């Protein structure tokens, strides 16, 4: 890839010093106007980046050369894009009201939601469901939690509070038990494979706790457990009643699955209308991604900016900074979406690549971040791409204060400040992107999340990698299972482990 002419041209452009000087770029009176883009509820300002139209045009040529347009059509037309598992990626079908999978998914979700909210579904204590506990990790946790936090103030129907359990840490599970009314709780085991160790450990802890409570009588009519999975047989084997299982297709990747039955907690917490609006917003972005030229295509532009910094400027980190507490889980969701999807060293042909892919992704609520790691942004030696995210419409003076902070941080990073005492000065010339949502509606949130999903897919096409597999995730888990088995069988010495790892294992076992 490094040898193709467009890649070489971009390398040369990135080496031109004036392109990394914001004050030079802003000498062009049309710079701001040429780097601002709008679609529906999103306003994207790229003008504070080390990037001009010449570089952006070359990046668009790179996308064309990578055959991004046919790749987009392949995904939306259900062709195989997950080459590792030989599967299509069908998450966008669940957002298209003209697709049969959309109607089937919504019907399944809404039918069970109506049964729960109407009192037709009873817990194993014979009680009405008053709260849901979602037991899942990764994509079965991060997406639903993000959307529940974003939308629970918008419910138009009676809603059921949702709690989330992801870690196998006993202290967190015990804390959860103290926070909920167990007899009125429905425990939802969300796992695509229904074999994720952490999720099943938590599920067993829940079952153990339930059995200790007087009056617990699970049967096919009354159950405190339900499941969301692509492996319904496995859920049936562990005793989940069939009518309490919400399936989804194996062609839907876990980190792209919040639109599927994995989104059941969203339906209960925010209501059916909000869930449909979420899907509608995402579908609008799907259409934009398919139809809009690369030069004004929001997901493509976001991907190209990221590739510019990662491959040509040489920056290895990326930060997501929402200035609204309702989006506080967005950085964690994006962290998994980007790093698990594009943190790859092999291309789709299985060959080792010679260029970097996913940056290190981190972030937090913007104002909290100002008092945590912004010092390094302003006076640290390194620079990195930042996404400042704000919400325009609100009913709170404090939200204006947050937006003014968002705007001020972008300005301060760009402008800097000279001081007589050099230690107080900030050099400026630090890049950032500003992304504003018109409001915190389900439709706006759907557009935002779908935009980031398509940004990731665009990156993967240009990098020639598969963004729908995650083989590296399994290695550590496999070793952990081996260690556990050898410890239980008192055969640890049979493992071929380094002295440091062996000493650490012995430290743990001897401490019991």
| Residues designated as active site | 340, 371, 477
Beta sheet of 131-135, edge-to-edge order = 162-165, 131-135, 185-190, 225-229, 245-247
Task: Look up tokens 């697709």; give the residue.
Answer: 99
Is residue 291 exposed (0-12), middle (13-18) or buried (19+ Cβ within 10 Å)? exposed
Helix 100-117 and helix 272-291, axial crossing angle in degrees, nearest 10: 160
- Distance between CA 444 and CA 394 in Å, rounded? 13
Residue 7 belongs to what H/E stretch? helix 5-14
What are residue 15's phi and psi, to 5 degrees? Answer: -85, -10
Q: How far is CA 500 from the centre of its chain?
A: 34
Supply the DSSP string of 415-445, one letter for each residue: H-B--SSGGG-B------EEEEES-S-HHHH
Q: Do 477 and 197 touch, CB atoms closer than 8 A? A: yes
| Pairwise CA distance, residues 221 & 368, whole Å | 47
Identify the CA nearest to 263 among candidates 87, 88, 445, 437.
445
For residues 178 and 327, give the distance between their C-alpha atoms in angstroms, rounded to a whole number.
26
Number of Cβ within 10 Å of residue 467's Cβ equals 28
């Amino acid at each position: 890839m490094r040898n193709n002419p467009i890649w070489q041209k971009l390398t040369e452009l990135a080496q031109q010093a004036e392109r990394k000087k914001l004050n030079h770029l802003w000498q062009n009176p049309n710079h701001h106007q040429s780097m601002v883009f709008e679609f529906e509820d999103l306003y994207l300002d790229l003008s504070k980046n080390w990037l001009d139209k010449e570089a952006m045009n070359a990046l668009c040529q790179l996308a064309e050369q990578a055959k991004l347009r046919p790749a987009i059509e392949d995904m939306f037309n259900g062709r195989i894009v997950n080459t590792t598992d030989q599967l299509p990626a069908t998450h966008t079908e669940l957002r298209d009201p003209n697709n049969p999978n959309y109607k089937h998914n919504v019907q399944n979700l809404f039918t069970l939601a109506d049964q729960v909210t109407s009192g037709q579904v009873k817990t194993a204590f014979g009680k009405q469901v008053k709260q849901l506990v979602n037991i899942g990790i990764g994509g079965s946790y991060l997406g639903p939690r993000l959307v529940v936090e974003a939308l629970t103030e918008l419910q138009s129907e009676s809603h059921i509070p949702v709690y989330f359990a992801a870690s196998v840490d006993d202290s967190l599970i015990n804390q959860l038990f103290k926070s909920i009314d167990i007899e009125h709780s429905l425990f939802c085991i969300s796992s695509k494979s229904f074999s994720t160790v952490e999720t099943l450990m938590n599920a067993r802890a829940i079952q153990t706790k339930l059995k200790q409570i007087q009056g617990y009588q699970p049967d096919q009519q009354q159950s405190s457990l339900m499941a969301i999975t692509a492996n319904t047989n496995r859920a049936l084997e562990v005793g989940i009643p069939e009518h309490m299982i919400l399936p989804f297709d194996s062609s839907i990747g876990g980190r792209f699955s919040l639109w599927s039955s994995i989104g059941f907690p969203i339906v209960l917490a925010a209501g059916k209308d909000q869930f449909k609006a979420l899907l509608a917003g995402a579908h609008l972005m799907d259409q934009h991604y398919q139809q809009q030229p690369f030069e004004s295509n929001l997901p493509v532009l976001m991907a190209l900016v990221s590739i510019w910094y990662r491959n040509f400027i040489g920056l290895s980190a990326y930060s997501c900074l929402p200035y609204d507490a309702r989006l506080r889980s967005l950085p964690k969701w994006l962290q998994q979406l980007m790093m698990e999807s594009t943190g790859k060293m092999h291309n789709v042909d299985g060959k080792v690549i010679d260029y970097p892919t996913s940056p290190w992704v981190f972030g937090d609520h913007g104002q909290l971040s100002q008092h945590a790691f912004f010092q390094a942004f302003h006076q640290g030696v390194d620079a990195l791409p930042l996404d400042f995210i704000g919400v325009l419409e609100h009913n709170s003076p404090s939200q204006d204060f947050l937006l003014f902070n968002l705007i001020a941080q972008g300005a301060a990073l760009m402008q800097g400040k000279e001081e007589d005492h050099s230690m107080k000065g900030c050099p400026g010339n630090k890049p950032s992107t500003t992304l504003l949502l018109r409001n915190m509606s389900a439709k706006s949130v759907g557009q935002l999340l779908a935009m980031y999903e398509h940004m990731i897919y665009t990156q993967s096409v240009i990098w020639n990698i598969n963004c729908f597999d995650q083989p590296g995730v399994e290695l550590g888990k496999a070793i952990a299972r081996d260690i556990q088995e050898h410890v239980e069988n008192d055969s640890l010495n049979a493992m071929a482990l380094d002295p440091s790892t062996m000493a650490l294992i012995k430290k743990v076992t001897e401490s019991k």
